[in-house]
Structure 1
Amino acid sequence: MTDLLPDPDSKIEQARLWRDNGWTARVIKNEDDDGWAVAMIKDGEPEPALIGPWTMGRDKKNPKPLDGNAFNTLVKTAAEFVRRHEQQLHATLHQSIIVTAKNARVTVSLDIVPDDDNPSATLTAQDEAGTELAQLRVSPGFKLNRTSATAWADGGFQKP
């Protein structure tokens, strides 16, 4: 039995479909207007990482064909978008703040573990030397800010 699907790692260079370097660019009809859009899909991902407008061709009816330079620019843009999204997610899930409590500098960290069924979060305090002073489980909705961190440290690291 022969495999009718192309090798997912194979390079494709077509007017409306390019695949290389772990990315696929697909020119699609823009559902919001009469124009065209390009969807950038990272290999192994079910959804596009980025969808943006695509230029009309000279006939003002069909899309401009993809080419190497356009594809490389699209890959760079989509990769940067994914990288910024991952950085934002990391910053949201792993927060840290330094406060002064009882005349000592304390680093308070909140680490959230997102989970559809059982999300959790851990609040941790460390002194300047990095020694753990306290750790406890809190709600994933806990708001870490200067006031909450100082109150926790000043209160002897009791459950907030």
Structure 2
Amino acid sequence: MTDTLSADQTPDPDAKIEQARLWRDNGWTAHILKNEDDDGWAVAMTRDGASEPALIGPWTMGRDKKNPKPLDVNAFNTLVKTASEFVRRSEQQLHATLHQSIAVTSRNARITVLLDIVPDEENPTATLTAQDDGGDELAKIRVSPGFKLSRASATAWADGGFQKLA
């Protein structure tokens, strides 16, 4: 005999859960876990569909000083806000790393040099682009994804006539 659930018994992965150590709502799941490194507890905040928690932090002990304080709506909402802000800041930082720009003056003209990196586990790529003040493209070349854009490298590229870099 096999243990199977009929369609009406299958748990809904999007169903709201409000338990002392597990809470799911608004696209997030909070799960209170025993901290293996000490006697305390931690809370893991995972965005729906993600395989790893976006944020893990310490959790408050209950009154008995052995068990965790149970989750409640206010604590959960605070955790969602904190985890969402953390994810947003991480995404902004990644975007800033992958899409850099710097303005330089070369040959008495103001030029904006942009570095756009496309991360890929097998074949990452990067493009260096020069634009004039009006946003018109002056040059575009492929560079190593490890290329370091700086005022000096941008000026040297522009002063060198936008030649391919070694």
TM-score range relative to shorter protein: over 0.9
SS of aligned partner of 1:106: strand
Residues 78-99 of structure 1 show CA distances to partners (whole Å, capped at 9, x for unaligned) of 0000000000000000000000
CA distance in 1, matches of 2:60, 2:11: 28
- CA-to-aligned-CA distance 1:48-98 (integer Å, 9 cap, x gap): 000000000011000000000000000000000000000000000000000
Cα offsets for 1:21-64 (capped at 9, x unmatched): 00000000011110000000000000000000000001100000
The question of 1:136 aligning with 2:137 is answered no
Quick one: which amino acid aligns to residue 74 of structure 2?
A: N
Give the deviation of 1:2 after TM superposition: 1.1
Given candidates 112, 124, 131, the residue that maps to 2:129 is 124
Q: Matched residues in 1 for 2:88 and 2:77: separation?
A: 16
Letter of the aligned partner of 1:100 in structure 2? T
- Mapping 1:2-151, distance limit 5 Å: 2-3=6-7, 4-151=9-156
Deviation at 1:125, TM superposition (A): 0.3
Output the CA distance in 2 between the equivalents of 1:6 and 1:68. 22
Indicate which of 149, 157, 162 corresponds to 1:157: 162
Count of residue pairs the alignment pairs up: 160
Q: Which runs of 5+ in 2 are unaligned?
A: none
**Structure 2 CA distance for aligned equivalents of residues 156 and 28 of structure 1:** 59
The 2-side partners of 1:78 and 1:154 are apart by 45
Shift of 1:5: 4.3
- 3-state SS of the aligned residue for 1:112? strand
What is the CA–CA distance in structure 1 between the aligned matches of 2:63 and 2:138, rounded to whole Å?
Answer: 67
Q: Distance in 1 between matches of 2:119 and 2:132?
A: 27
Structure 1 32/5 Cα, relative in aligned 2: closer, same or farther at 3 Å?
Answer: farther
Q: Percent identity?
A: 80
Shift of 1:8: 1.3
Q: Which amino acid aligns with 1:142?
A: F
